[in-house]
């Protein structure tokens, strides 16, 4: 019988105090996992803990910047001491800066690369030794459609997410023999508080131009919802995916398969 349960498993989901990370962590918890998450501020830590508590989830929160290797190592050691050795890692923490490439500073470019690509490397590197000792592990990297496509103003983000796709494949290549599976989830355009302004109706009742563009480009004819990511995350975290490795699962309503409607 296929086993999608995560009872007894410990999952670290980075940047999971709200949004996609929170939805994935909550889904893992409902499947039986114990949740640890990190944020960069005391304010977001408390907001996250309060949200999990309101949903009946006893999550363990930590303040840690994923770009700080020493800090990440300390956090992982603390989780191992207080909760247990990590079985599941979801590299969710990330940022995007929408700036035309010729106007983007090197500092801004490096910040996106540091959080979106170097961060997953640092956290994965920290948890893999524990997985090797356990003889199993699941790493899920939150990639993007920008792992495959370019778009104006997101040069740093696309470079980072393209790199994260290849880091996913290489972790698979290097550690698959040790029963460690590393896969990615590539969300499409998802309804979150951050994208809400792009979905607001105009004064005349028409769709926001970007909203209309996304719906027209999506065979499902809608934006994704955070719950659309929950099943794929549980699958990739569970024994059901033990022979799935180095794969990027795009949860995009079909955008990457579709050339678009004729004007």
Distance between CA atoms of residues 95 and 143, nearest Å: 12
Comparing CA positions, the residue from 55, 61, 20 lying closest to residue 43 is 61
What confidence score (pLDDT) does residue 126 get?
Answer: 98
Q: State both tokens at 131.
A: 């997985």
pLDDT in tens, 188-224: 999 988 889 889 999 999 999 999 999 999 999 999 9
The pTM for the full model equals: 0.97
DSSP reduced 3-state for 14: strand
**What is the set of domains in the chain, with CATH numbers?**
10-190+225-257 (3.40.50.720)
Distance between CA atoms of residues 259 and 217, nearest Å: 8
Q: Is the pLDDT of residue 149 over 80?
A: yes
Choose between 130 and 195: higher pLDDT: 130
pLDDT above 70 covers a percentage of the chain that reads 99
Comparing CA positions, the residue from 138, 154, 136, 137 lying closest to residue 146 is 154
Q: Is the pLDDT of residue 24 over 90?
A: yes
pLDDT above 90 covers a percentage of the chain that reads 95
Q: Are 35 and 11 in contact (CB under 8 A)?
A: yes
Residue 157: active-site member: yes
Q: Which listed residue (52, 157, 189, 250) is catalytic?
A: 157
What confidence score (pLDDT) does residue 2 get?
Answer: 76
Q: What is the DSSP letter of 218?
A: -
Average pLDDT, the chain: 96
Choose between 196 and 1: higher pLDDT: 196
State mean pLDDT over 36-59: 97
Q: Are 92 and 16 in contact (CB under 8 A)?
A: yes
What confidence score (pLDDT) does residue 262 get?
Answer: 74
Could you give the count of Cα atoms lying within 13 Å of 117 in the half-sphere of its Cβ? 19
What confidence score (pLDDT) does residue 215 get?
Answer: 94
Residue-wise burial string across 140-164, b where 16 or more C-beta atoms lie within 10 A, e elsewhere: bbbbbbbbbeeeeebbbbbbbbbbb
What confidence score (pLDDT) does residue 65 get?
Answer: 98
User: Between helices 106-113 and 155-175, what is the axis angle to 10°?
Assistant: 30
Q: Is the pLDDT of residue 260 over 90?
A: no
What confidence score (pLDDT) does residue 253 get?
Answer: 98
pLDDT band at 97 (very low <50, low <70, confident <90, very high): very high
What confidence score (pLDDT) does residue 194 get?
Answer: 80
């Amino acid at each position: 019988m296929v086993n999608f349960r995560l009872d007894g498993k410990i999952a670290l989901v980075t940047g999971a105090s709200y949004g996609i990370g929170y939805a994935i962590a909550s889904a893992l918890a409902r499947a039986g996992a114990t949740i640890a998450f990190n944020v960069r501020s005391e304010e977001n830590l408390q907001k996250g803990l309060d949200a999990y508590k309101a949903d009946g989830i006893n999550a363990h929160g930590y303040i840690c910047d994923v770009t700080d290797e020493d800090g990440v190592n300390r956090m992982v050691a603390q989780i191992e001491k207080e909760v247990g050795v990590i079985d599941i890692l979801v590299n969710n923490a990330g940022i995007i800066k929408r700036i035309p490439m010729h106007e983007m500073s090197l500092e801004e470019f490096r910040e996106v690369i540091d959080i979106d690509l170097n961060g997953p490397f640092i956290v994965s590197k920290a948890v893999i030794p524990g997985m090797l000792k356990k003889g199993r592990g699941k790493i899920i990297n939150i990639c993007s459609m920008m792992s495959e496509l370019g778009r104006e103003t997101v040069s740093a983000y696309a470079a980072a997410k393209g790199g994260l796709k290849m880091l996913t494949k290489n972790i698979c290549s290097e550690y698959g023999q040790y029963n460690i599976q590393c896969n990615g989830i590539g969300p499409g355009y998802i309804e979150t508080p951050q994208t809400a302004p792009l979905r607001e109706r105009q004064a005349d009742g028409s769709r926001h131009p970007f909203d209309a563009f996304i719906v027209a480009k999506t065979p499902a004819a809608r934006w994704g919802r955070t719950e659309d990511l929950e099943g794929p995350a549980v699958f990739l975290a569970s024994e059901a995916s033990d022979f799935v490795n180095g794969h990027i699962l795009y949860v995009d309503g079909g955008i990457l398969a579709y050339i678009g409607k004729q004007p």
